[in-house]
A and B are shown apart, each in its own frame.
Chain A
Amino acid sequence: MWTIAMKDLRLRWKDKRGLITMLLMPILLTAILGSALGGNFGEDSSMPDTVVGVAFDEVDQMTDQWVNEVLPNDEVTVTAFENGQELEVALQEKAIDVGVVLPENWGQQMSESEVKVWTDPEKTIQASIVHSMLTSFVDRIQSVSATANVFAFEMGAEGGVDVESATEEVMADLRAVAGAEGTSVRAAEEGQASLTGMQYYAAAMGVMFILFNATIGARSVLEERHTQTLARIAMTPIRPFPVMVGKFLGTLFYSLLQFLLFLIATYLFFDVSWGESPGQVLAVGVAYGVAVSGLAMMLASVIKEEKTIDAVGGIGVQVLALLGGSMIPIAAFPDILQTVSNAIPNKWALDGFISVMTGTTWTELILPTSLLLAFGLLCLWMGSMRLKLQ
């Protein structure tokens, strides 16, 4: 049993490409998403009330997002104009403080070079703040989509994931993320620390990437069946159930290793605080690892082909990650989806991590961790019942 688990761990450790995907990608994504969210609009607070006029001739997703969601805040009010002339008039009449003219197709090209920012000479500070907000938005969008591309490429290389549709999905999700406002994702409840974007996305990305172990673990069982090593193991004196437990443990250990490295990396490099209690973080992490590894054995028992598992895994992880709040905070979902998301394990894990980050008691953690453990062990048991070694 241990021999099988250690062998699997070693095999996975040797798979350099897999290692990069599983260890570096989540860290990279956290960095980008986290900093995008935590984007420093430092001057905001010292900014006097400002009315910004924006002229654009086409409404697309990006423009709409910037004009209606990103730009407006307590101090900034936005007025839309049909064209540059109208905007100029308004500026002269002092109806607006700063004017921004977006070029044609700005939403598609996402560059700031042709954007004109006008202001009256007394209000240059406001103008430069608006300009920097624009720059940071464009930067964010660009870096997020670059990341999404790399990510999709890596995942595509891993297996037969339908790269294009996967990319589109991830892009769409990430765009929404980049556009999400506020540095505090979840309003602080009484007596609790508030949560930064970085913290949220560290937890979210960690949860999402650990979820990939469900596919990886299942795939490893299918591969072993394919190469007949599983049949060969079945011919040794070891009984089938310990064999499955061995495969399960291999997946679990790898998940935990990945989780620990991710914890350390986010803590050291991005100062992510995982809360006051390392014990609680580990408890949630282990419980989640058990859930994911159990799921892996379950998948291995119902799916026959490696190709299927790649496809199912690629899409499945995205859907689950999305539903579980790893892409966009769940609060942003319609009610029905919020209800649905209560049924998925990665959401319980994310909730668990977040409550640990914001401070919680052990008693409150009993529910999510025991749910996760029960889910994992049930899956493992059902998987081992169904699975044929040959």
Chain B
Amino acid sequence: MLQVSELKKRYGQKEVVKNVSFKLKEGEAFGLLGPNGAGKSTTIAMICGLVSYDGGQISWHDKPMTSSMKKKVGIVPQEIALYPTMSAKENLLFWGRMYGLKRKEAKKRADDVLDIVGLKDRGKETIETFSGGMKRRINIGAALMHEPELLIMDEPTVGIDPQSRNHILETVKQLNRQGMTMIYTSHYMEEVEFLCDRVGIMDHGEVIASGTQKDLCQRLIGGTVIRLKLEGANESGMQAIQQLASVNQIASDPESNTYEVFVKRPDEAISDIMDTTVEYRMKLSEISVQEPNLESLFLQLTGRSLRD
């Protein structure tokens, strides 16, 4: 239903989004995963028509995007864009009316939405008295008022407690099960793993990998990550590990003395690594094996972890 191809955006000299392309089918949940400043919000702002783009195309049901599409899309901005001195319900009513609902419809829908986000009995209270998590829920609710076909969420869970976060994730999952198409951006890979069928991983304005979670994990070279903690690591020793036949790649974080080693066959690699550390007199204080996940994929692709 939505197709984004070769989208580009520059602010001055800086290319913030470079050639971002993805496709969305009805009922699908698409995750955009990327660290701070990757260009997720900018991509979304272009889809919503909030900022202009310098190249590429966005089409909606195979036609170029027009402003009439806005009626079908609900957006949850990264910031809590609500009126703090108005009550939760008044906020919902306002946003519903902005999407063209009649007063009566909006009233009825506001009650439903309050129910969906689990704040049925708090509708009369003003937003400023709400906790961060409750504000976030209303922030999502405001985008649900007009029952959009596509729901775009920009980091809807930043800065809230685990309980609210779980509640939000469950709500969103539920909406997706009921058939709502969605784009979900986050820097928490576990959220994206939980919610999304397909994932695009963004870094420095580019989608560096995309596909279903399974596809992506299989693309991991070797698939498994071994995490090492070494004391007295030295360069020749690390080089020796890198050159082992069973090892594909190493990402290192010298400050905490940890190293992530990408391997094909974990058993073989572990014994090789142990031998090498002894040979080069490095003290191995910790070793662990991680199943492939998006986090390790990101690590492999960029040599950095998602969150610093």
Which positions in A face B, CB cutoff 8 Å?
3-4, 7, 10-11, 14-15, 227-229, 231-239, 389-390
Q: How many residues of B contact A (CB 8 A)?
A: 26
Query: How far apart are the CA atoms of A127 and B51 in the complex, in Å?
Result: 78
Output the least CB separation between B149 and chain A (Å): 14
Q: A-facing mask of B57-96, CB < 8 A → 1, else 0?
A: 0000000000110110001010111111110001000110
| 12 sampled A-B residue pairs with Cβ under 8 A | A10-B90, A229-B82, A229-B83, A231-B50, A231-B77, A232-B81, A235-B70, A235-B75, A237-B100, A238-B98, A389-B50, A390-B51
Once the chains bind, are B83 and A11 in contact (CB under 8 Å)? yes
Contact indicator A232/B94 (Cβ below 8 Å): no
Contact B83 A235 (CB under 8 A): no
Q: Which residues of B contact A236 (CB under 8 A)?
A: 70, 95, 98-99
User: Which A-chain residue is minimally distant from B106 (CB atoms)?
Assistant: A3
Q: A3 CA to B50 CA in the complex, in Å?
A: 21
**Nearest B residue to A246, CB-CB:** B98
A231 touches B83 (CB 8 A): no
Contact A390 B83, beta carbon cutoff 8 Å: no
Query: Which residues on the A side are within 8 Å of B83 (C-beta)?
Result: 7, 11, 227, 229
Task: Give A315 Cβ to nearest chain B Cβ, in Å.
Answer: 27
Known contacts A7-B94, A390-B50; is-contact A237 B85 (Cβ 8 Å): no
Most buried by A among B75, B83, B142: B83
> Chain B's nearest CB lies how many Å from the CB of A212?
19
Q: Report if B116 contacts A (CB, 8 A).
A: no
Excluding A229-B82, A238-B98, 19 further A-B contacts by CB distance (< 8 Å) are: A3-B97, A4-B98, A7-B94, A10-B86, A11-B86, A15-B85, A227-B79, A227-B84, A228-B77, A228-B79, A229-B81, A231-B50, A232-B75, A232-B95, A234-B50, A236-B95, A236-B98, A237-B67, A237-B99
4 pairs of A and B residues whose beta carbons are closest in the complex: A232-B81, A228-B81, A228-B79, A236-B98
Minimum distance in angstroms from B292 CB to a CB of chain A: 37
B56 within 8 A of A: no
- Whether B49 is near chain A, meaning CB under 8 Å from some CB there, is yes
In the complex, what residues of A have CB within 8 A of residue B90's CB?
Answer: 10
Kindly state whether residue B48 has any CB partner on chain A within 8 Å.
Answer: yes
Most buried by B among A231, A235, A389: A235
Chain B: minimal CB distance from A236 (Å)? 4
In the complex, what distance in Å separates the CA atom of A235 from the CA atom of B74?
9
Q: Contact: A235 with B94, CB < 8 Å?
A: no
Q: Which residue of A lies closest to B49 (CB)?
A: A235
Contact assessment for A227 and B98 in the assembled complex, using a CB-CB cutoff below 8 Å: no
Residue of A nearest to B78 (CB): A228
Q: Is the interface of B mostly helix, strand, loop or mixed?
A: loop
- Closest Cβ neighbor of B152 among chain A residues: A235
Q: Which chain B residues lie closer than 8 Å to A231 at the CB level? A: 50, 77, 81
A238 to B94, CA, bound (A): 13
A166 to chain B, nearest CB (A): 27
- Hey, which chain B residues are within 8 Å of A14, CB to CB? 85-86
CA distance A14 to B67 in the complex (A): 34
Contacts of B86 in A (CB 8 A): 7, 10-11, 14
Q: Which residue of A lies closest to B79 (CB)?
A: A228
Contact partners of A3 in chain B: CB under 8 A: 94, 97-98
Q: Which residues of A contact B50 (CB under 8 A)?
A: 231, 234-235, 389-390
The residue from A15, A237, A390 contacting B71, defined by CB atoms under 8 A apart:
A237
Q: Find residues 76-130 in chain B having any chain A CB closer than 8 Å to their own CB.
A: 77, 79-86, 90, 94-95, 97-100
Query: Are B98 and A233 neighbours in the complex by a CB distance under 8 Å?
Result: yes
Is A11 touching B68 in the complex (CB atoms < 8 A)?
no
CA of A236 to CA of B142 in the docked complex: distance in angstroms? 11
Report B-chain residues with C-beta under 8 Å of the C-beta of A233. 98
Measured CB to CB, the nearest residue on chain B to A231 is B50
Q: Which residue of A lies closest to B75 (CB)?
A: A235
Interfacial chain A residues near B48, Cβ < 8 Å? 235
Chain A neighbourhood of B95, CB < 8 A: 232, 236
- Chain A residues within 8 Å of B80, by CB: 227
In angstroms, Cα B48 to Cα A389, docked, is 14
Q: How far is the CA of A277 from the CA of B70 in the complex (A)?
A: 49
Q: Which residue of A lies closest to B97 (CB)?
A: A3
A323 to B48 alpha-carbon distance, docked (Å): 47
Q: How far is the CA of A228 from the CA of B79 in the complex (A)?
A: 7
Residues of B within 8 A of A11 (CB): 83, 85-86
Q: How far is the CA of A231 from the CA of B85 in the complex (A)?
A: 18
